[in-house]
Structure 1
Amino acid sequence: MKRWLESAATAFQFLSRFPVKSGGDFSPELLQRSTVYYPLVGLAIAAVVWAAAYLSAFLLPPFPAAVLILMLWVWLTGGLHLDGWMDSADALLSYRSRERMLEIMKDSRVGAMGVIACVLLLLLKLSLIYTVMDEGLWSTVLLLPLIWSRWFMVAALGGWPKARQGEGLAGHFETLRGREVRLAALLATGMTVLLALLNWTGLWHPFMAAFPTLPVLAWLAGKWTAERISRRLGGLTGDVYGALNELLEALLLLAAVLLHRLLL
């Protein structure tokens, strides 16, 4: 039990700003075990974000409330994945050689493409939060994007080679294999089923189709994107894992809003 609690605490400490102390040494073995709990971290962040959004809807107009909620969302992640999104945009949109793109990712400075990509991503997220709050689209399905985007990070860690063998933070996960991916998928599936049951009203509702649809979309979109990036870089990097998380968060939230409009 202590072993798994330590792994879960490490996942929270690594991926969020929740005040959790792991007591671990952040060894490669511990970091790899902690990946099983990445979906749980996503659920915790999503629960705080959407609870705050629901409460603020009674106090503020939708737009300023949406801005504050987006700020909370970014703060809870420490901007970790957003940094990866910007670095990946700078490199992949430069259309340089593989070696040059990897050098750009290692550069701590942010270029024009990274800034543009960040602004556009935040605008999309802001508009979706505003839509949820303005139209009252409250459902437990809103928690799924943050769960399954983080599960796909685990799948990417175990499913594609590392662009820099033994280098960078991603090097700590080089021996991660299918066991952690399967356990993370099992945890994410269990949480999805629980959220679907909490959303259940006793009768089938068309919007319930979103619960199986979003995980499938996360896998298909994530796999397509990871394969394309891996072909260009010869593998994936720590920045790319963060970028994949940001992409899937936004894409799945957009899909949830679209499904709500189409099915209701």
Structure 2
Amino acid sequence: MSDKSRPILAAFQFLSRIPIKIELDFTPALLRRSVKYYPLVGAVIGLVVWAGGTLSAWALPSLPAAVITLILWVWMTGGLHLDGWMDSADALLSYRSREKMLEIMKDSRVGAMGVLACVLLLLFKVSLIASLLELGALPAFMALLVAPIWSRWFMGWAMRSWPMAREGEGLAGRFHGLSLRDIILSTILAITLSASGLFLASFTAWNEVPWKRLVLYFVLLPLVTYGVGTLSARVMSSKLGGLTGDTYGALNEGLEVVLLLLAVLIIR
């Protein structure tokens, strides 16, 4: 196994259940090097989820097909980011002191606010997936491909842009020192992957989705990701004194829903 392939494999092992039968030592250096490949992991997850959703939609109405799609989506990620979403909701919605919120996030148990936040998120997500499946296989392809790409891109940006809430502790500490070069490479990869997907969809479904909407969608993707993600990260950081591994997962989950909603609003 070449040294260049290790960060790619580490990104897939860390962020997905895609079977990578190689033992890796997840050192901080390797984790940092893997971040630039997060958009690639998102693209593969999006392709698998779209394929499962399309097959389900051929045999079932849109709602049960969307539920199956969401189950596949959660399985592909191992619920990693949902765990962060629930822990962040428990802490940030507790209205406690910074120290108490950080203590809540370290607790392995899930509280009432975390459960409610998870249920509401999944309900919203399944409704958006159902709406996209009703629009057709190719519009669904565009949205389900790019949402995981850009939500994972922002995790890297958040690691670089905001301090750690727990200095030298926790998962966030292992990503400390992420270089600007890695973020630039991650951005180039995210743009390339999403542009390729949107071009393929527009080429094969020109009459199904007007090209002006595709262009608008492509332009708004990074802008909405950056804008909503930055606002959310600032709020979290102001309350916690920085970000944690759980908040990275929460940002990913929230942005996926926002980008699916953007697709429903523009493509329909």
- Shorter chain as normaliser: what TM range? over 0.9
Partner in structure 2 of residue 196 of structure 1: 198
Tell me if 1:211 matches 2:213: no
Partner in structure 2 of residue 99 of structure 1: 99
- Report the more deviating stretch, 19-28 or 7-16: 19-28
Cα distance in 2 for residues equivalent to 1:226 and 1:76: 25
Does structure 2 retain, via aligned residues, the 8 Å contact 1:163–1:236? yes
Once the 2 structures are TM-superposed, how far is the Cα of residue 22 of structure 1 from its aligned partner? 4.2
**What runs of 5+ residues in structure 2 fail to find an aligned partner?**
none
Amino acid at match of 1:158: R
Cα distance in 2 for residues equivalent to 1:14 and 1:22: 12
Tell me if 1:141 matches 2:142: yes
Partner in structure 1 of residue 264 of structure 2: 257
- The total of aligned residue pairs comes to 261
The Cα offsets for residues 15-54 of structure 1, whole Å up to 9 and x where unpaired, read as 0000013432111000100001100000000000011111
Cα distance in 2 for residues equivalent to 1:220 and 1:158: 16
Sequence identity percentage = 56
Does structure 2 retain, via aligned residues, the 8 Å contact 1:13–1:22? no
Amino acid at match of 2:124: L
Amino acid at match of 2:154: F
Amino acid at match of 2:142: V
Does structure 1 retain, via aligned residues, the 8 Å contact 2:138–2:201? no
The match for 1:241 among 248, 254, 257 is 248
The Cα offsets for residues 153-198 of structure 1, whole Å up to 9 and x where unpaired, read as 0000111000001111111111112121111111101112212221
Does structure 2 retain, via aligned residues, the 8 Å contact 1:153–1:241? yes
**What runs of 5+ residues in structure 1 fail to find an aligned partner?**
none
- Report the more deviating stretch, 153-162 or 188-197: 188-197
Cα distance in 2 for residues equivalent to 1:252 and 1:214: 7
Cα distance in 2 for residues equivalent to 1:161 and 1:10: 23
Q: 1:21 to 1:33 in 2, by over 3 A?
A: farther
Give runs of ≥4 in structure 1 deviating > 6 Å.
none
Cα distance in 1 for residues equivalent to 2:194 and 2:80: 25
Partner in structure 2 of residue 111 of structure 1: 111
